[in-house]
Amino acid sequence: MLPIYFAPIQGFTDDVYRRVHHKIAGGVKYYYTPFVRVEVGIIRSKDVRDIAPDNNNGVPVVPQIIFNSRKEFEYLVNRVEALGYKQIDLNMGCPFPLQARHKRGSGILSHPDIVESIIEGIKEHETLQFSAKMRLGWDNNSECERIIELLNGVDLQHITLHPRTGQQQYKGSVDMEKFRYVYEMSNNPIIYNGDIQSLNDIRKLEQEFPRLKGVMIGRGLLGCPSMAIEYQQQNEWTTSQRIALMLDIHNSLMDEYSRILHGDTQMLNKMRTFWEYTESLLGRKPYKKIMKSGNLKNYLNAVNELKLL
């Protein structure tokens, strides 16, 4: 049975969500944090809060950093290590142009010289364990070949590969032929990430890639938070059971966010994001009713109606 890793998704999987999901749903080996980055020469304070050990107490968390140079890499690694972390994930997969055009995320894959300098940095941090999350390339899927060759020169915990290019973002099809190439050529263990929406998707990967170290799921787990525990229990839940768990998570999130958000508008805007990937589970009409709620009262009424599904 493969371990399940929760992918980092900006704006969704913050420390509050991770704590609540781990407590109520579970089934996840590690939760990877949205990337920590440098802004105007320093680490962002919101990122420090998100990875602060006190805000992740009892949750198996791995901080992720994003960088475009050895200098940024060293600065972020030192800051994260100072918080007590011994594992760090390297983001070489973010597809968003705002990051990629500055040679961060999947944008770094077009610059193997920078990747090579990062590898030298990894070797110097002997007390830390590193993993990497990457795509096939920025604008073509052959860029991964040189990157994997370089990464074969260092011992990583694993490489998580989403088999699309950065320019594809989440459009088009995953390239399983190229994923197999990386799977076979990498000296480091491989985790699969991308378009996992069901237990059958995980089982198919188990069969096709018996040496996989695990699967990383993001949008699929947001859309069905019980997926990891269903897989670990080898027990496929009913729609009613899945929605009941979502409501438990939702209510706990409401309690948590009410302590840090101010006013109905902030709460409404934040909580609607919880349902963004759930249309296939809820059905179009209940989903639309929640997402189109114009105020918190109507929103809560729409959520309460889910109990009848």
Domain residue spans in the chain?
Answer: 4-233, 239-308
Tokens matching residue 84: 């007590």
- Closest to 190 measured CA to CA, from 219, 218, 221, 157: 157
Burial of residue 291 (CB within 10 Å: 0-12, 13-18, 19+) is: middle
Below-50 pLDDT ranges, the chain: none
CATH fourth-level superfamily of 4-233: Aldolase class I (3.20.20.70)
What pLDDT, on a 0 to 100 scale, did the predictor assign at position 308?
Answer: 81
- Closest to 216 measured CA to CA, from 294, 175, 160, 178: 160
Cα dihedral across residues 93, 206, 31, 251: positive or negative: positive
Write the pLDDT tens digit of every residue in 80-122.
999 999 999 999 999 999 999 999 999 999 999 999 999 999 9
Q: How many CB atoms lie within 10 A of CB 272?
A: 15
Tokens matching residue 127: 């007390």
**pTM for this predicted structure:** 0.96
Instruction: Give, for 287, the enclosing helix (H) or strand (E).
Output: helix 284-291
What pLDDT, on a 0 to 100 scale, did the predictor assign at position 173?
Answer: 95
Bridge partners, 87 (sequence order):
129
Tokens matching residue 229: 């525990």
Write the pLDDT tens digit of every residue in 149-177.
999 999 999 999 999 999 999 999 999 99
